[in-house]
Amino acid sequence: MKTVLKVENLKVHFPIKAGGFLNSKIIPLRAVDGVSFEVGAGECLGVVGESGCGKSTLGRAVLQLIKPTDGKVLWLGENLCDLPREQMRQKRSNLQLVFQDPLSSLNPRLTVAEIIREPLYATDPTIGREDADQRIDEIMKAVGLLPEMRNRYPHEFSGGQCQRIAIARAMVLKPKLIICDEPVSSLDVSIQAQIINLLRRLQKEYGLSLIFISHDLSVVRHLCHRVMVLYLGRMMELADRDSLFAKPLHPYTQALISAVPIPDPAKERAKGTLILSGDLPSPLNPPSGCVFRTRCLKATPKCIKEVPTVEVLENGHQIACHHWLK
Amino acid sequence: MDTVLELEHLTVRFDTKAGNVSAVTDLNLTIQRGECIGIVGESGSGKSQTFLASLGLLAGNGKTMGRALFRGQDLLKMNRDELDKLRGDRVTMIFQDSGTSLTPHMRIGEQLMEVLVAHKGHAPDVARKRVLEVMESMRIPDIEKRLTQYPHEFSGGMRQRVMIAMALVCQPDLLIADEPTTALDVTVQAQILNLFRALKAHTKSSIVLITHDLGVVAGLCDRVVVMYGGRMVEEAPVADIFASPKHPYTQGLLRCMPRLDQLLDTDLEAIPGQPPNLQKLPKGCAFAERCTQAIERCHTERPILRQLSPTRRAACHLLDAA
């Protein structure tokens, strides 16, 4: 598989004012702190983690919507972080984004056709009306919207339909990579399945690469080829789907998987859930050493002192833990 | 049998500019002492409105009809004072968004003690003792310090614990939890569900768990009610609803979700179409439009909720034919 996106040691730090009135100082909030990964052509990479783990920031930093503090984002070998604005704008036709809340990500004053037409005009102002209309109809059909709906406004649609419009807008330029930031989290279960199926189909048909950001492990397992687990801005584990779910090596991944309720009373009541104590620590004041150590069942004094390095195993499984062998 | 809550022909309507909206229609449901019942449905199915209406918490343009008998007394006929005596004491409710349910300018300890002082007339030191006891059962570390803090100093999971503690200090007969873990991360959700499990084992309170997550229901509830378009479409003991769902909507719900215990490399069996418009509910079955098994009768005649066995009810024409 050809690698299309390569992210190296990506860091996004936000300066935050802390302290009192007299001794205020700027300290960095490390939203993403040294994350590296690759995405192949036609591959779907899942990014999972709890709120505040940096998964959305990561997605935005890859697209340069937030300027990374450090690190490289190589798109087909070219570092996007170094590109001037205008050149980055050109690249965007290949790199698109779909957000969680479909209604607020669509302009309420534009009709569906106008929403989908915008990116077409933005990249090619000379495109003819008929050409544009034809492409709009095509993509509307591909995402399961009827071409008759083209003159309606977003508020006339349900959440699931709005998400289809957002996907159509992202797809109309035939991009090579789409970053989906919790695209099904605000939808009802029965509608979720429709959108997941749609993404799966589009991905296969168009050979799309996807970065699928989600907190829902069941959805990620269904859709993704490889999965990356983040915690407090750091990568904990990265592996192909089957080895991650069958044999998670990191204590955090193990707890995450075990915490997902299974819709089967007998299994759900029999399984022993690994209950982590406490909450996510403040990202302003992350624990020393391994960031997960304050909630980890295997933590030792070594975890306080040393940041675990990412080990790459034979099958490509990446793990950042001092004690994964235990 | 010791019945705690009995809803009879409960109907909730909202007057809106665009016309009448039927949020809940003709709902009949009994809840026994010590029972944990799951109310499952999508947004707009009427699952929350049913209980908000029962407790007199509807929005101003809402109208409730029918009866909601709590220990034999009709809650819908009570005036505000009578309701205030019950709410927070015998019947308590917790919501999804714990951040907005707590008073931001009061210390957590004061808020919790206030409940006991108001309802039980406890002296502050007695109230404090009880508060400490409940907070401890919620496994909140460092309680003494925590009680002097304000809600913004708590994380989402901790605030939800405080809400549960507040709902429990008076040992209510009925605790209604409306999507209590939906806003929480999975690892925190697991902690809270564990608390509910302990609660079920150690108290006699009945619990109503309103949720859209069938996984949560599977781990916690004894009985499940499935709602669609404002009506109950199925009711069954928890094991039955997962093993042999009778209503096509329940079947569809169970089939369409990806699950961690099964791996599919095919498409999910999505339920086609969109949830019904409550302003224009069809003449027949509200689910007929999306139902893959619908027959002609489904579009013309509304199915009634039938007793299938002593413990099971469902509303579907296909079950008549069988």
A280 shares a domain with A215: no
Contact A264 B242 (CB under 8 A): yes
CA–CA gap between residue A78 and residue A94 (Å, rounded): 13
Instruction: With beta carbons less than 8 A apart as the criterion, state whether B59 and B229 touch.
Output: no
Q: Which of B237, B258, B256, B239 is nearest to B248 (CA)?
A: B256
Q: Which of B148, B125, B124, B144 is nearest to B135 (CA)?
A: B144
CA–CA gap between residue A172 and residue A176 (Å, rounded): 11
A294 shares a domain with A217: no
Contact A279 B188 (CB under 8 A): yes
Domain count, chain A: 2
Q: Which of B280, B251, B270, B233 is nearest to B27 (CA)?
A: B233
Listed in sequence order, the residues at least 6 apart from A104 whose beta carbon sits closer than 8 Å to its beta carbon are: none
Residue A126, judged by CB atoms within 10 A of its CB (0-12, 13-18, 19+), counts as exposed
For B41-85, the pLDDT digits (tens) are 988 899 999 999 999 999 889 999 999 999 999 999 999 999 999
Contact B260 A245 (CB under 8 A): yes
Residue A217, in any domain of the structure: yes
How far A196 CA sits from the closest chain B CA (Å)?
8
Residue finishing a domain among A197, A231, A265: A231
Contact B261 A245 (CB under 8 A): no
Choose the mutation target among A204, A215, A222 for the interface with B, i.e. most B CBs under 10 Å.
A222
Domain range for A50 is 3-231
CA–CA gap between residue A55 and residue B259 (Å, rounded): 22
What kind and span of H or E run contains A237? strand A234-240
Domain count, chain B: 2
B314 shares a domain with B235: yes
Encoded tokens for A4:
């299309």
The ipTM, to two decimals, is 0.87
Instruction: With beta carbons less than 8 A apart as the criterion, state whether A58 and A230 touch.
Output: yes
Contact B214 A263 (CB under 8 A): yes
Contacts of B188 in chain A (CB under 8 A): 50, 279
Residue A238, in any domain of the structure: no
Contacts of A275 in chain B (CB under 8 A): 187, 190-191, 194
A206 shares a domain with A153: yes
B245 shares a domain with B142: no
B122 shares a domain with B27: no
Give the domain CATH number at A217: 3.40.50.300
CA–CA gap between residue B81 and residue B119 (Å, rounded): 12
* Locus of tokens 């309170």: B205
B105 shares a domain with B85: no
Sheet containing strand A177-181, strands side by side? A95-98, A177-181, A209-214, A44-48, A226-231, A234-240, A318-319, A311-312
For A171-197, the pLDDT digits (tens) are 999 999 999 999 998 888 889 999 999
Encoded tokens for B192:
């809270």
Residue B180, in any domain of the structure: yes
CA–CA gap between residue B208 and residue A316 (Å, rounded): 46
User: How many Cα neighbours within 13 Å face the side chain of B210?
Assistant: 21
How far B224 CA sits from the closest chain A CA (Å)?
12
pLDDT at B322: 60
A255 shares a domain with A227: no
Instruction: With beta carbons less than 8 A apart as the criterion, state whether A222 and B269 touch.
Output: no
Contact B270 A276 (CB under 8 A): no
Q: Which of B53, B58, B71 is nearest to B206 (CA)?
A: B71
CA–CA gap between residue A110 and residue A129 (Å, rounded): 17
Residue finishing a domain among A201, A231, A261: A231
Instruction: Please name the member of A190, A197, A259 whose beta carbon is closest to the beta carbon of B187.
Output: A259
Choose the mutation target among B186, B214, B224 for the interface with A, i.e. most A CBs under 10 Å.
B186
B247 shares a domain with B174: yes
Q: Pairing relation of β-strands A78-79 and B19-32?
A: unpaired
Length of chain B: 322
CA–CA gap between residue B157 and residue A281 (Å, rounded): 13
CA–CA gap between residue B23 and residue A60 (Å, rounded): 39
B256 shares a domain with B125: no
* Locus of tokens 């008759």: A148
Q: Quote the Cα angle for B159-B160-B166, to 5°.
A: 90
Instruction: Please name the member of A50, A160, A275 whose beta carbon is closest to the beta carbon of B274.
Output: A160
B145 shares a domain with B45: no
Q: What are the E-state strand segments in chain B?
A: 3-16, 19-32, 36-40, 62-70, 73-74, 91-94, 174-178, 206-211, 223-228, 231-237, 306-309, 312-314
What is the DSSP secondary-structure string of B212-232?
Answer: S-HHHHHHH-SEEEEEETTEE
Listed in sequence order, the residues at least 6 apart from A85 whose beta carbon sits closer than 8 Å to its beta carbon are: none
Name the amino acid, one letter, at B197. R
A73 shares a domain with A26: yes
A302 shares a domain with A223: no
A64 in the Ramachandran plot: left (φ > 0), alpha (ψ -120 to 50) or beta?
left
Residue finishing a domain among B169, B195, B228: B169
Encoded tokens for A266:
């007998």
B47 shares a domain with B22: yes
Helix (H) and strand (E) counts in chain B: 13, 12
- Using the Cβ of A266 and the Cβ atoms of chain B, whether some distance falls under 8 Å is answered with yes
Domain range for B128 is 101-169
How far A32 CA sits from the closest chain B CA (Å)?
19
B116 shares a domain with B71: no
A212 shares a domain with A306: no
Contact B219 A158 (CB under 8 A): no
Q: Which of A97, A123, A111 is nearest to A150 (CA)?
A: A111
- Using the Cβ of A219 and the Cβ atoms of chain B, whether some distance falls under 8 Å is answered with yes
- Using the Cβ of A259 and the Cβ atoms of chain B, whether some distance falls under 8 Å is answered with yes
pLDDT at A285: 87
Each residue's pLDDT expressed in tens, for chain A with a length of 326 residues: 799 999 999 999 999 887 777 888 888 999 999 999 999 999 999 999 988 899 999 999 999 999 999 999 999 999 999 999 999 988 999 999 999 888 889 999 999 999 999 999 988 889 889 999 999 999 999 999 998 999 999 998 888 999 999 999 999 999 999 999 999 988 888 899 999 999 999 999 999 999 999 999 999 999 999 999 999 999 999 999 999 999 999 999 999 999 999 999 999 999 888 888 888 888 888 999 999 999 999 999 999 999 999 999 989 999 999 999 87
CA–CA gap between residue B295 and residue B68 (Å, rounded): 35
The sign of the dihedral angle between the CA atoms of A228, A231, A233, A236 is: negative
Instruction: Please name the member of B216, B253, B275 whose beta carbon is closest to the beta carbon of A261.
Output: B216
The sign of the dihedral angle between the CA atoms of B271, A46, A95, A59 is: positive
Residue B138, in any domain of the structure: yes
For A220-236, the pLDDT digits (tens) are 999 999 999 999 999 99
A147 shares a domain with A210: yes
Name the amino acid, one letter, at B130. R
CA–CA gap between residue B26 and residue B10 (Å, rounded): 5
How many beta carbons lie within 10 A of that of residue B14, not counting itself?
A: 18
Instruction: Please name the member of A200, A259, A265 whose beta carbon is closest to the beta carbon of B218.
Output: A265
Query: Is A25 strand, coil or helix?
Result: strand
Residue B96, in any domain of the structure: no
Give the residue ranges of chain B where pLDDT is below 50.
none
What is the DSSP secondary-structure string of B24-67?
Answer: EEEEEEEEETT-EEEEE--TTSSHHHHHHHHTT---TTEEEEEE
Residue A31, in any domain of the structure: yes
Give the domain CATH number at B68: 3.40.50.300
